[in-house]
Amino acid sequence: MKRLPMTLIAGAALTGVFALAALISMVWTPYSVEGMNIAARLQAPGAAHWFGTDHFGRDILSMIMVGARTSIAVAVIAVGMGMVLGVPLGLLAAANRGGLIDEVIMRGNDLVFAFPALVIAILITAVFGPSAVNAIIAIGIFNTPVFARVTRGGALSLWTLDYIRAAEVAGKGKVRISVEHILPNIANLLIVQGTIQFSLGILAEAALSYVGLGAQPPLPSWGRMLAEAQTMISFAPHMAIIPGFAIVLTVLGLNLMGDGLRDILDPKLRRAR
Amino acid sequence: MLGRLKLGLAVLAMVATPALAQRADISVGLVLEPPNLDPTSGAAAAIREVTYSNIYEGLTRFGPDGSVNPGLAHDWDISEDGTVYTFHLREGVQFHDGTPLTADDVVFTLDRARDEDSTNAQKQLFAAIDTVTAVDPLTVEVTLTQPQGAFLFNMAWGDAVIMSPESVETNATNPVGTGAFRFVRWVQGDRVELERNPDYWGEAPALERATFRFISDPSAAFAAMMAGDIDAFPNFPAPETLAQFEADPRFSVIVGSTEGETILSMNHQNEALSDIRVRQAISHAINRQDIIDGAMFGYGTPIGTHFAPHNPDYLDLTDNSAHDPEAARALLAEAGHENLTLRLMLPPPTYARRGGEIVASQLRDVGIRTEITNLEWAQWLEQVFRGKDFDLTIISHTEPMDIEIYSRPDYYFQYDSAELQAIIAELDETTDPEARTELLHRAQRHISEDYVVGFLFQLAKTGVANADIEGLWENAPVPANDLTGVRWTQ
């Protein structure tokens, strides 16, 4: 058996820590994230509160755990949404390559792509109001063209292969071929892209929450924790450093994992080895 | 090489010389942007925080200590029965558009303010007026239906400033007054610029230009202050940073009092909140000191009614609504509201956003769930203040002596009590100081014992300014940033 790349192991370990924290937070956190204890506010990291407390006396470790859940949930659903919308569009475009449908889908993609991702997100949350759900929709929408493109690109090269031609000759329709033959063969590509989009989703959620357009209080969110810490950085630096590291490490973990997965899954790289 | 050095020094000297001259411009930071610049057509304190005494002036004007001083009227006579006020206007006063101030402008302003269609947010200031007549171009006679002790005080409010009929229609976007500064431009969402009025009737202000910049984000405000983009921030939104400013010799920290009663406002049209037991439960669920410490880092004084603690007529009624979660839970059970969910709408100021999170947590402790919605200032004014579409909100009422808002059944919290309305009506007709004190005490007790809203704390004025600026108001007896006496010391 081939050795797994180090990047994959390191990435999966980092991501795993946060995923585990998010899972545990569903049943247990050291302290309640909704309970405030003003008397115990702004404590530096110590024995009672490993990561210290914030300006309301909430336990930062607990908030990081629940914040991980918020980030991961938003990113998973948003990436899922991007896949559910983008992959069929990409398959459809590839199946009708060169046709009107292909043209309409891809130019529509370009249109969405033309807006910077965060601007779309801000637009959506500004119109529909800030909430975690709207953040998901916003991030999902800017994920859609990414998946549509990756799918179309992967599928186009497959459509020229002999076994697809054979399937066509055997009388299979475009939809059946797309689902039965194309999709399984581009799954690797989608998994790698999904991992990368997932890390971008976490960043986008943090950015939206930072400007107040993501998860609303009292639901903890890493981005908002950072925003709240900003004016207190001179006397409570842990309030900014800890959520900052949480974001950096999660995104780093996911990117390493994405790289590692590409190394073992991407057919082109596999052939090159 | 030497030549280049000399040149460099010369350039340096040229650059440095103007910096040694006294500065004559100021950039003042405000958290909230005014919805318009016409103080007679909106309740938002932000309008007066930009325009009061700078652009517009009234017959009388407030000093920094809340005293009532001569304004556009340099003198007045009061008839013996206290019902006829004869104001003598200053000579040679001009509006910024060049039209002279005459008695007709005063008649126009006061008649417009008390008109049925008036958009004035403080109509009660003019309620006692019976007739206003111009005796001659510089004399106005105001007849009251009954003596009113607070009439000169009322005329000093930002809502009672004198406007000219020629410019009144456009004052919302192009304010024209008689003040020491005139309007230059308003870049919406960013700033309002003023410049010295060269034709001002009074002593010319030291400042040539003044810019009000609107920054609601505390960290942006902190950064702007630290970078020197803002010279003074009279109500600094990040109280946690004051210690840092205090330790920095570049800045002076000015902590004073305001007339801002900060309340957890309740919508009396909400079925649950119309029940006094629910309101009482909410009041007992609140821990004021925690809110003051957690949201304002200790700046603020707990209040138990709608009255400023520095006022001699203030009653400390905080015990009526002492922190008692047990009692709150019992009251909710008795009222049958053990499963209550309320919408909590929060405007941008720090006291509301942070205070709201703390209130939500305290309410959760007694079993009331809240859905927090953070609103921008214009949205808050539209939806909550005008639209009355809210259950709970947190806001500071910064007008002085504004307990009468509880006697307005159509005010945004829609409290309708005949008893309180009778007290306020009587107060309005009473001039005897002792009787007034007695009535003010009754009114304070009434709203406190009826748990009309959750009374939280008196907002402190936490100002930060460049240490070289003097003349800023230490306290805020009215929402105002009077820049006429502000100057740079070097």
Q: Report yes or no on A32 lying in a domain.
A: no
What integer pLDDT is reported at residue B17 of this predicted model? 47
Displacement of CA A63 from its chain's centroid (Å): 20
What integer pLDDT is reported at residue A134 of this predicted model? 85
- Residue B37 near residue B172, CB atoms below 8 Å: yes
CB within 8 Å: B240 and A36: no
What integer pLDDT is reported at residue A273 of this predicted model? 44
Q: Report yes or no on A121 lying in a domain.
A: yes
The token duo for B35 is 């919805």
CB within 8 Å: A234 and B374: no
Under 8 Å CB pairs connecting chains A and B tally to 58
Q: Report yes or no on A74 lying in a domain.
A: yes
Element (H, E) at B357: helix B350-365
Q: Report yes or no on A82 lying in a domain.
A: yes
What integer pLDDT is reported at residue A135 of this predicted model? 85
Q: Which residues of B touch A (CB under 8 A)?
A: 218-219, 222, 238, 240-241, 243-244, 287, 289-290, 293-294, 354, 356-358, 360-362, 364, 372-374
Element (H, E) at B243: helix B242-246
Q: Report yes or no on A89 lying in a domain.
A: yes
Element (H, E) at B209: strand B209-214
Is the whole model's pTM more than 0.90, yes or no? no
Q: Which pLDDT band holds residue A133 (cuts at 50, 70, 90)?
A: confident
- Residue B97 near residue B110, CB atoms below 8 Å: no
Confidence check: pLDDT of B446 > 90: yes
Mean pLDDT (whole number) for A144-169: 92
- How confident is the model over B42-83, as pLDDT tens digits? 889 999 999 999 999 999 999 998 899 999 999 999 999 989
Q: What is the CATH number of the domain that holds A128?
A: 1.10.3720.10
> If you average pLDDT over every residue of chain B, what do you get?
92
CB within 8 Å: A234 and B364: no
What integer pLDDT is reported at residue A265 of this predicted model? 79
Taking Cα atoms as reference points, which of A147, A15, A148, A137 lies closest to residue A78? Answer: A137
Measured between CB atoms, which of A34, A36, A231 is closest to B241?
A231
Closest Cα in chain B to A40: B294
Q: Report yes or no on A221 lying in a domain.
A: yes
Confidence check: pLDDT of A129 > 80: no
* CA–CA gap between residue B54 and residue B109 (Å, rounded): 18
CB within 8 Å: A55 and B372: no
Specify the 3-state DSSP secondary structure of B151. helix
Confidence check: pLDDT of A57 > 60: yes
Q: Report yes or no on A26 lying in a domain.
A: no
- How confident is the model over B94-111, as pLDDT tens digits? 999 999 999 999 999 999
Helix, strand counts (H, E) of chain A: 11, 0
In a mutagenesis test of the A interface, which of B216, B289, B293, B361 is the best target, namely the one with the most A β-carbons within 10 Å?
Answer: B361
Q: Which residues of A touch B (CB under 8 A)?
A: 34-36, 38, 41, 55-57, 129-130, 212, 216-218, 227, 230-232, 234-235
Domains along chain B? 25-31+174-256+461-488 (3.40.190.10), 57-168 (3.90.76.10), 260-460 (3.10.105.10)
By residue range, what is the domain housing residue A215?
A: 6-21+54-268
Confidence check: pLDDT of B316 > 70: yes
Q: Report yes or no on A190 lying in a domain.
A: yes
Q: Which amino acid is at B216?
A: S
Q: Which amino acid is at A24?
A: I
Q: Which pLDDT band holds residue B190 (cuts at 50, 70, 90)?
A: very high
Number of domains in chain A: 1
Closest Cα in chain B to A54: B294
What integer pLDDT is reported at residue B147 of this predicted model? 87
Confidence check: pLDDT of B9 > 70: no
CB within 8 Å: A231 and B373: no
Mean pLDDT (whole number) for B430-436: 87
> If you average pLDDT over every residue of chain A, what do you get?
89
